[in-house]
């Protein structure tokens, strides 16, 4: 059995997970909204968020851990959401694969590439032709001026400017090549 390290204070991680047996995690807009509300409740106090995407049967997050209890808080998020999802959809059983996947990030280049990967996930899976068209990701928040908890200034800094951020997101991305580079 594969074991995973605890999420450690101060480190950046690419976190991701799928529904058990390719089961959908999100069926309706209310599901996405509820997950994001729970995310704010459980995760915002213990982690800074830099990028995210919620897909029907999986998600990706880019976070920096602020508290040593982060792994426990992520478990609370997933358990709370699964219970509410099962009640709402009148189903039962496990919703998420366990344990959730995590990649420790050591470089700014990985940070840039994982942001491009996260935001282009809906394009890769055929939900849209550009990240700006997909409502359940942080791309729109990154290019917005509205107040947010998302660490958009740091994200733009990794791309040197908003113009370069948009330019990089407009470029054709070979997602399979990027997955190999990211080690996903």
SS3 for 48-83, per residue? EEEEEEECCCEEEEEEEECCCCHHHHHHHHHHHHHH
Structure tokens of 138? 């942080």
Return the pLDDT at 122: 96
Domain-by-domain residue ranges, the chain? 12-182
Are residues 97 and 18 in contact, defined by beta-carbon separation less than 8 angstroms?
Answer: yes
pTM here? 0.93
Quote the CA–CA distance of 173 and 115 in Å, as a whole number.
Answer: 12
Are residues 72 and 12 in contact, defined by beta-carbon separation less than 8 angstroms?
Answer: no
Superfamily of the domain at 12-182: Transposase IS200-like (3.30.70.1290)
Return the pLDDT at 22: 85
Quote the CA–CA distance of 68 and 115 in Å, as a whole number.
Answer: 24
Per-residue pLDDT of the chain (184 residues; tens, 9 = 90+): 344 568 999 999 999 999 999 899 999 999 999 999 999 999 999 999 999 999 999 999 999 999 887 889 999 999 999 999 999 999 998 999 988 999 999 999 999 999 999 999 999 999 999 999 999 999 999 999 999 999 999 999 999 999 999 999 998 888 788 888 888 8
Which helix (H) or strand (E) segment holds residue 86: the answer is: helix 70-89
Return the pLDDT at 4: 55
């Amino acid at each position: 059995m594969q074991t995973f390290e605890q999420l450690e204070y101060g480190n950046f991680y690419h976190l991701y997970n799928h529904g058990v047996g390719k089961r959908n995690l999100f069926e309706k807009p209310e599901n996405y909204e509820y997950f994001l509300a729970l995310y704010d409740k459980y995760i915002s106090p213990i982690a800074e968020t830099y990028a995210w995407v919620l897909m029907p049967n999986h998600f990706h997050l880019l976070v920096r851990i602020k508290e040593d209890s982060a792994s426990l808080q992520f478990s609370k998020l997933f358990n709370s959401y699964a219970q509410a999802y099962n009640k709402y959809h009148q189903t039962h059983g496990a919703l998420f694969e366990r344990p959730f996947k995590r990649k420790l990030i050591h470089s700014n280049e990985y940070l840039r590439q994982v942001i491009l990967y996260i935001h282009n996930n809906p394009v890769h899976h055929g939900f849209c032709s550009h990240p700006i068209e997909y409502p359940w990701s942080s791309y729109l928040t990154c290019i917005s001026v509205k107040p947010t908890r998302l660490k958009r200034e740091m994200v733009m800094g990794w791309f040197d400017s908003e113009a370069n951020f948009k330019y990089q997101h407009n470029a054709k991305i070979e997602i399979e090549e990027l997955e190999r580079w990211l080690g996903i």
